[in-house]
Each structure stands twice: as C-alpha cells, then as structure tokens.
Chains A and B, each alone.
Chain A
Amino acid sequence: MEKKFKPNIVGFLCNWCSYAGADLAGSSKTQVDPSLSVIRVMCSSRVNSNLILSSLLWGADGVLVAGCHPGDCHYEQGNYYARRRFALLKKITKILNLEPDRIQLSWISASEGKRYAEIVNQFARDITKKGPNPLTRNSQT
C-alpha cells in the first residue's frame, strides 16, 4: 500500500510577531500541524526570494512567510516591503507556470496563537491536497 503523503512545509516566521504567535499556540496547547518546519527570521522583509525558491527546488512542498500585520512591523515598514517582494515572486511563479499556490504570505501577530494554528493547519491541508511538489522531484532543476 502506498504511504500517505505528508507534506514538507517551510515557514519563515518573523521574530517579533509570527514567531511569538507560534510560541503562544504551543504554550496554549493548540494543535498545530507538524508538517511545518519553522525558521525564525528577524523580519518578513528579510526573506529573499532566493530562500523561498531554493526551498521549493530542494524539498519543500510549500513555503509560508509570516510577519506582523501591516502597520505593526517592529521595523515600521518591513512587512510592506516584504509584501511587494512576495507579490513579485508570486507573479513570476504564475507566469512561469511553477505552481504559485505553493507559496503563501500571512500576517500573524504575537497574540494570535489560535490564528497561527488555523493558518498553518489550513495551509497544510491545501498542500496535502495538492500533493508532492513536482519541482523537488524534478531532475531538471
């Protein structure tokens, strides 16, 4: 029998909001899908497109970038820049036919442990439904 597909998701969480939100989800014992591997970054705008692309090419079935809500950035404007960069990468993956739905940008504050769990669980369900990422298994890449 074939093994059930368990996705491999990379989450870039900003130190000030989303990472603390993830922490809160854990300490309040909310169930969070274990397929997300968390990487803490100082700000969502630190996430260069290279990080997302190499994740997708080298083993991730999905990539989540999460930061503070617009207006709440610890560095005041970081998440606005992050949103623009993300929008560009999303558009490029769309044009190049590289499954844009595998990358997601969400805003999660430090107090939103429940929202963190909901977003991660939903994303994990979406990616599980999509199945394995063909890019990570493509010898051309």
Chain B
Amino acid sequence: MSHQKKEETIIPEKGTVLSAEKGTKRVILDILKKALAENLFDAVLIPAQVPETEAYSWILLQDESLFEWADPLPPVMTVQGGRALSSFSKNGELEQNIAALLRPCEIRAAIELFKLKQVNLKNITLISLDCPGAMPLSNYMSDPQKTKKDFQHILEKWENSESLRPVCQVCQHFSFIDGTAADLHIGLLGDKNKNITLIPSSPKGKKLLDQLEFGTKDSVEKWKTEKQQLANEKIKRIDAFNREWKKKINQANGFFNEFNPCINCHNCMNVCPMCYCQQCYFDSQAINFKPEAYMQKAEQKGALRFPLNTMLFHIGRMSHMVLSCVSCGACEDACPVSIPVSQLFSMVSDQTQKEFKYTPGMNREDALPLQDFTEQEFCEVEVPDECHEKAPEEAK
C-alpha cells in the first residue's frame, strides 16, 4: 500500500454571484426549489423547523410547498447531518437524485462515514455553506427566542461571539472544503447579506450550476478575501484555546477531573457521527467483572467508583474515533452534565491528526489512517527503534 500523492485542489476562480436582497435564506431555498422543479433532484435533505414548535430536525423534502419549513442555517445543530445522511443511505445505492445541504463539519463527517461504508454517495450531491457556528443546544432550548436573535446578529456581522459553542469559535473548517468532499459551496461571506456566491467544488457541482443556467462567469474573489480574513482570526484563537487546554490537562489528574461529573449515559457516543458501531464495546458485557473482583479492585484502589469504567469509556472511545473527529461539537451539546467533551476531543484530534498527516473528511480518496500504513513510519514507538538501527548498515 502506498500513499498516493494528493492532487492539489485549488479554489476555483469563477462561480456565480447572486443578489441576496430577498434574504440569504430565501435565495438559497429558491435555488433548491428551482432544482427540484426542474427535476434535477428528486428530494432535498435540509434542516427544518417543525411548524408551530421551536424544534429543528432534518427532513427529506420532496413537496415544494413544504419549503416554508426549511431553514438552511438553523441556529443549532440538533442531529449531526452526517448521521442524518447515513441513516437513509447506508443500506445501498439510491436511484433518486438527492441534494443534501449540510454544514462543512457535517459534510466532513459524511465523507468519513462514506469511507467507513456507512454512507453511499451515489446520486447524492453534497452542498456546503459558510457556517457562522452554532449555538449551544441547551441555551436554545431554555430560551429559543433570545438565542435565535443572538444567532441572527452573528449571521449579519460574522463576528466571533462568546455565545457560540466553544468548538465553533475555533473552527478551522467553517467554509469551502479544500478537497473532493463537497460538490457545491454556497458562500455567504463577501458582500455579506447583499450577495451570495456559488462556488463549484466538483465537476458535478459545475454541471449543476450550468443546468440551473447560473454558469460560472462571476469572480469569487470578494468571497475568498473575506473568508481568508475570518480564517486568520480563527487561527489566532486556536492557539490560545490549545494552550489553555494543555495547561488544564497537564495538572495532576487533569483529564480525570474534567470527566469526573460523567454519569455514564453514553450520550456523547450516541450522537457522535463517527461512533457508528452497532454495538459499542463499552455498552457490552465485556467490561464487567465477577462480584468478588469488585471487592478486590476496591481494595486495590481504596475506593471504587460506579458505574465502572467511566474513564476507560472516554479514553477508549477517543482512541477509536479521534483520527476521524471533525470537531462538530455534537457530543458537548448532548452532555447532560456539561463536560467540555468536544473541546477536549478537538484538542486531542488536532494533535493526533497532525501526527498522522490526516485531516478527516477532506478528500474522498484519502484512506482512513488506521486502514493504511507505510513500511517505514512511526519507528520512534518501537523499542528498540529498528528503522534507525538499520539505516547505518544500509549506508555502508
């Protein structure tokens, strides 16, 4: 097995700039409506606000009249979009054409699930959009109106806000996915609230723009500049974020102290798009002991904490999925005791993914790091280190 040299993907210079005078959301929905009316798609997977409630959910929309429900940019991320896509596409190919409008982290999760054969992308067009971040689910549930207002404000200004989820504030992949993940990108930046920019990110996306008679004649420069500005601002915050967490973890029992409030509900695992196993090892009986063993362990530790294996669950889960973690923040939203799960996982995934030179969900062709290898690598973990042992001999 060898590592294929990645083709450099360059953000296209040309796209379509559309006026957003009617409102950003309206314009996006009109594009999808048009595509549906012209039979380019048979259905659209999109977030929607359930009528007469404050609840957001994913819908597979077929009836044009129901577009009134749809909201391409909901203030919260209820169910991770990658999970929603997996739920109806994992059991085989679809004959119908489907467009899925997802946040960039949701697309990246979908691509990781695609590599794990949990998503079938045949006939699915992935559309990403500039994401301002999402509000914490618990804040939204306790005061929907205020949270919506705050979110609207963020969406207008595109400035960082403390009210966003912490992982969203330091998100590096909030916009165009620089790879072969998505088909089309909707840029909201660049002439904010006045125009939106459609950027094709695959031949499929380009074809779609041609079929919709938008073409790719307009320059996307304005969007690109503003996107870069925002990215630079975020990078500054990431360093501070990582430093702060490093300091916390390096204290005695740092990691355990963070996870101590855990009630072992496994919500973080249940909502995680990367935790796709039908039966989780940590939900199984494999980690239970015979009664007398508990007494022995209580003696060894001085006191035994119940339910058992809470810490094993978190470190174990981390070692299983962290290389595919897209830092979407779903785990933290789902935690009933407010453990900063996604911040910790994000900090660890950032460092481990760098070590494995892998960014999850960027390219459909990249092999998953644990399903791939080269012969001369990670020699530093071997005792004794054999690669370096051999090297001088070869030189002779």
Interface of A (DSSP majority class): helix
Which residues from A are CB-within-8-Å of B92? none
B318 CB contacts on chain A under 8 angstroms: 92
Q: Name the residue of chain B whose CB is nearest to the CB of A96.
A: B255
Residue of A nearest to B378 (CB): A87
Interface residues of A (CB under 8 A from B): 48-50, 53-54, 57-59, 69-71, 77, 80-81, 83-92, 95-98, 104-107, 119, 123, 136-141
Q: Does B287 contact A (CB under 8 A)?
A: yes
Given A98-B255, A105-B381, A105-B382; A137-B249 close (CB under 8 Å): no
Tell yes or no: B87 within 8 A of A by CB. no
A42 to B292, CA, bound (A): 30
- Is B302 in contact with A88, judged by CB distance below 8 angstroms? no
Q: B372 to chain A: which residues have CB within 8 Å?
A: 84
Could you tell me if A106 and B382 are in contact, using CB atoms closer than 8 angstroms? yes
Partner of A70, one of B1, B281, B375: B375
| B287 A88 Cβ-Cβ under 8 A | no
Compute the total of residue contacts between A and B using a CB distance below 8 Å. 120
Q: Is the CB of B355 within 8 A of A92?
A: no
Give Cα distance in the complex from A134 to B35, angstroms. Answer: 61
Looking at the complex, which one of A58, A71, A77, A88 makes contact with B319 (CB distance below 8 Å)? A88
B281–A50 contact, CB under 8 A?
yes
Given contacts A105-B381, A105-B383, 12 further A-B contacts (CB under 8 A): A49-B316, A80-B375, A84-B378, A85-B370, A86-B381, A87-B378, A91-B352, A91-B355, A92-B318, A95-B347, A98-B315, A136-B301
Measured between beta carbons, the chain A residues less than 8 angstroms from B249 are 95-97
Of the candidates A81, A137, A140, the one whose C-beta lies within 8 Å of that of B311 is A140
B382 interface neighbour in A49, A84, A107, A141, Cβ under 8 Å:
A107
Is the CB–CB distance between A104 and B297 below 8 Å? no
Give Cα A57 to B171, complex, Å: 33
Q: Is the interface of B mostly helix, strand, loop or mixed?
A: helix
- Is there contact, CB below 8 Å, between A88 and B373? no
Residue in B257, B312, B352, B384 whose CB lies within 8 Å of A92: B352
Q: Which residues of chain B come closer than 8 Å to A58, judged between CB atoms?
A: 297
Q: Which of B300, B371, B383 meets A136, CB within 8 Å?
A: B300
Partner of B322, one of A81, A86, A92: A92
Q: Does B260 contact A (CB under 8 A)?
A: yes
- B352 engages A95 (CB within 8 Å): yes
Tell me the smallest distance from the CB of B295 to a CB of chain A, in Å: 14
Q: A137 near B300 (CB under 8 angstroms)? A: yes
**Closest chain B residue, CB of each to CB of A139:** B303
* A92 to B312 Cα, complex, angstroms: 13
B91 to chain A, nearest CB (A): 27
Interface residue? B250 (CB, 8 A): yes
Name A52's closest neighbour in chain B (CB-CB).
B319
Give B323 Cβ to nearest chain A Cβ, in Å: 7
* Binary per-residue interface labels of chain B (202-229) against chain A in the complex, 1 for a CB within 8 Å, 0 otherwise: 0000000000000000000000000000
One of A50, A91, A104, A105 near B312 (C-beta < 8 A): A50
